[in-house]
Amino acid sequence: MKTRIGIVGGGNISETHARAALAIPGIEIAAFCGGNEEKVGRLAREIGGVPYTDYAKFLAHQPMEMVVLGSPSGMHAEQGIAAARRGLHVLTEKPMDITVACADALIAATDKARVKLGVFFQDRFKPGLRRVKTLLDGGILGKPILADARVKWYRPPEYYIGSKWRGTPSLDGGGALMNQGIHTVDLLLWLWGDVTAVQAKMASSLHKIESEDTIVALLEFANGAFGTFIATTSVFPGYPRRVELSGSEGTFAIEQDLLVRADLHKPEPSLISNEACDQNQSAASPTVSDIRGHQAALEDFLRAIETNGRPACDGREGRRSVALVEAIYAAARSGTRVNVSV
């Protein structure tokens, strides 16, 4: 069965969405929509589909069964709600929006319209990370004690200067945490469980932006563990993401998308593998050259539509990271301990 999709946005991530869609049999790109007529027109010429700059006209395009949102983060809920009201399924780039209130409104609208809602958190589909998830769910680390996550990345000044929305509270929802760090926020929540309270400090240490380029947070997990989290775009030249999880039975170290070290009281040498991982140079570049993660997320969403099932990262799962990020920002602004919205 053919599925016709509409892609919202004309930037790098929308091109990624288009390439991922074209790699899947049975997918047709029906239309593109964005505020930059030149960029949207180029994508339509190169990839196919009808270009629109008017969102209402885009939503009226026929035939079309779903939309993929690659617009600025602060527009996701508004655009997703409008699409749901037209009976279109909604798959949005991370984050699903920049506030819990907007995320809840989008969830309610898609529920009411009985359409699917999904969020691109492609880490959940990477083989190495799924393997770690299975091991953790099996209790291999014992009682959770400590989590440490570091997203020490670099973006040159041009990354922000050349954009009207990056690093702005109104459309990006923040800086390094909401944009770059949120994938690792979701990974921590997925692997280690809910966070109940946070403390944090943040600053614009390098870039001249409205929001932070450096943030440090202390996390309290529902399972009793503590955690530290660093997100930055100010550390040259940028280093691979690293997550360390420690429990009563040992420690896992994850770098990039692989388990690179497993120190256990009862060693299991076979845990470390050399399987292929995401080849994107995210630590130093926003360009997505390896589309496999996005393709897997899109394939999962299409299966959910076909089977009337639940996407691996639906709206309620996507909301968890927005709630945690919102609490971290509130803690950094207030200088106090803040509870996480549930």
Is residue 288 within 8 A of residue 280, CB to CB? The reply is yes
Tokens for 200? 């944090």
> Where residue 279 falls among pLDDT bands split at 50, 70, 90?
confident
With cut-offs at 50, 70 and 90, classify the pLDDT of residue 281: confident
What span, in angstroms and rounded, lies between the C-alpha atoms of 19 and 29? 10
E strand residue ranges, 116-238? 117-120, 144-152, 195-203, 214-221, 226-232
**pTM for the whole structure:** 0.95
Three-state DSSP class for residue 34: coil
Average of per-residue pLDDT across 102-111 = 98
Residue type, 88: L
What residue ranges in 233-324 does DSSP mark as E strands? 242-247, 250-255, 258-264
SS3 149: strand
Q: Which amino acid is at 63?
A: P
**Domains in the chain, please, with CATH?**
3-120 (3.40.50.720), 124-284+321-339 (3.30.360.10)
**CA–CA separation, 261 and 273 (whole Å):** 10
Strands (E), 2-116: 3-8, 27-33, 50-52, 66-69, 89-93
| ω into 95 cis (within 30 of 0) | yes
| Cβ neighbours for 21, distance < 8 A, ≥ 6 positions apart | 5, 7, 27, 29, 68, 298
In the predicted structure, residue 269 carries a pLDDT above the cut 90: no
Cβ neighbours for 246, distance < 8 A, ≥ 6 positions apart: 141, 144, 145, 146, 147, 148, 252
pLDDT tens figures, 233-260:
999 999 999 999 999 999 999 998 999 9
Q: How many residues does the chain have?
A: 342
Average pLDDT of the segment spanning 22-48: 95
Residue 95 has a CB neighbour count (10 Å cut-off) of 30
CB atoms within 10 A of CB 246: 18
CB distance 3 to 27 below 8 Å: yes
The pLDDT of residue 285 is 81
Does residue 276 register a pLDDT over 70? no
- In this predicted structure, the answer to whether residue 149 has a pLDDT above a threshold of 90 is yes
